[in-house]
Structure 1
């Protein structure tokens, strides 16, 4: 127990919780309004043809919708020369398999996209035990056009466009989410993208940590504690991560 934390009575806790509830409700309503503004963004028609390598052969962006009208793309950091996927992107991806059915029955398809070759993607996906669709954009400009992959010149010059601004990215791959809509005529539109900490809205693990007494315990970022889920150390009594 934190010896510095204030200890109160049940009555004090209840009064403080009621006051906090007012702020939590305001936060929820603000989130609802923010979601409405996301949906109100103008759409941009995707005129360029993008080709992806998949287990079912080469597919276009329109093909990735799988018969649905909405598509969420996760820009997974896995460069052509990488031997494994980013641990942070893996953390995001650990959340996905359980909700895929719910998304698909709400007219939403989901796919992860990386520049890594499909063989490397499939090997890592098997290692991690994931089932969600994951394709390679290695032979297209998709990652560059949606500002999650960067040329050696951009990295060296410390001038790359990411998260809607020019900045020093420091690496050739960064994460993000992009959302697309396909109309009845088959035309595809880019409707939304988010990068950096914008991806936290997809992390229910963070939502759970945020209600615990110790919180996230991050001074800078998730790199201080996070690992691929198969690399947490085990103790003699079981899994250190689950306490068994």
Structure 2
């Protein structure tokens, strides 16, 4: 269905675009200020020991830095009894393969973490054709401590802490990002986390859709149209 929209002259388009540019610049400057405030958050020292299962063997949280001082962890929704990874998490992860190299050359390691056993992670990773590091936290409290995995009791009570508030999460796994810093003494600090729609900034497809006439064109959320990239019908095009 064709979008209904007003039609104007080139002069009208130019005048409106100049006005919009002023707002876009203000929005960008506001984003820069938010980034500055994000970097100024107090750091919390990680005193608890976390061990992850990786293809190279067991590793600690400090090991995941891989010689760099900064670490971004993506909390990918793949539970121990799930048959495949979350569609939305997979959508986000499709954007990462080409980015990780650039992060690593700017003192930032990127690792995806799920609560599922490593064998299940490796099988799904192979299916998706991803190359970024992906490890299992199944033998530790990491997912629970960073509020992306939830116990049966929390689900039953409809009271779990997610996205900085107590709420009914409705499912045993949720998504998010957590950022860590390791100093020259080897001490690790938690510096930042975001959840929910906070993850959208990492989905470059949305940045492209947001400049198109139809925009995101979602009735409710990304699951209206996003599929695992190997589940789209060949030759299918969105209406």
Scaled to the shorter chain, the TM-score interval is over 0.9
What is the root-mean-square deviation in Å for CA atoms of aligned residues?
Answer: 1.3
Give the equivalent residue in structure 2 for 1:93: 93
Q: Which runs of 5+ in 1 are unaligned?
A: none
8 Å Cα contact 1:232-1:241 kept in structure 2: no
Give the equivalent residue in structure 2 for 1:203: 203
Give the equivalent residue in structure 2 for 1:233: 233
Distance 1:3 1:46, change over 3 A: closer
How far residue 240 of structure 1 moved from its aligned partner, in angstroms, is 2.1
Q: Given the two structures, how large is their TM-score scaled by the length of structure 2? A: 0.98
Alpha-carbon distance in 1 for matches of 2:161, 2:83: 25
Alpha-carbon distance in 1 for matches of 2:208, 2:57: 39
Q: Given the two structures, how large is their TM-score scaled by the length of structure 1? A: 0.96
Q: Deviations over 1:158-184 (max 9, x none)?
A: 100000000000000000000000000
Distance 1:81 1:8, change over 3 A: same
Report how many aligned residue pairs link the two structures. Answer: 239
Structure 2 SS opposite 1:96: coil
**1:87-126 alignment to 2 at 5 Å?**
87-126=87-126
How far residue 4 of structure 1 moved from its aligned partner, in angstroms, is 2.9
Distance 1:65 1:3, change over 3 A: closer
Alpha-carbon distance in 1 for matches of 2:36, 2:129: 35
How far residue 55 of structure 1 moved from its aligned partner, in angstroms, is 0.5
8 Å Cα contact 1:148-1:176 kept in structure 2: yes
**1:9-48 alignment to 2 at 5 Å?**
9-48=9-48
Give the equivalent residue in structure 2 for 1:51: 51
Q: Deviations over 1:89-120 (max 9, x none)?
A: 00010000101111000000000000101001
8 Å Cα contact 1:45-1:189 kept in structure 2: yes
8 Å Cα contact 1:69-1:107 kept in structure 2: yes
Q: Which runs of 5+ in 2 are unaligned?
A: none
Alpha-carbon distance in 2 for matches of 1:3, 1:148: 39
Does residue 78 (structure 1) correspond to residue 61 (structure 2)? The answer is no
Alpha-carbon distance in 1 for matches of 2:238, 2:220: 24
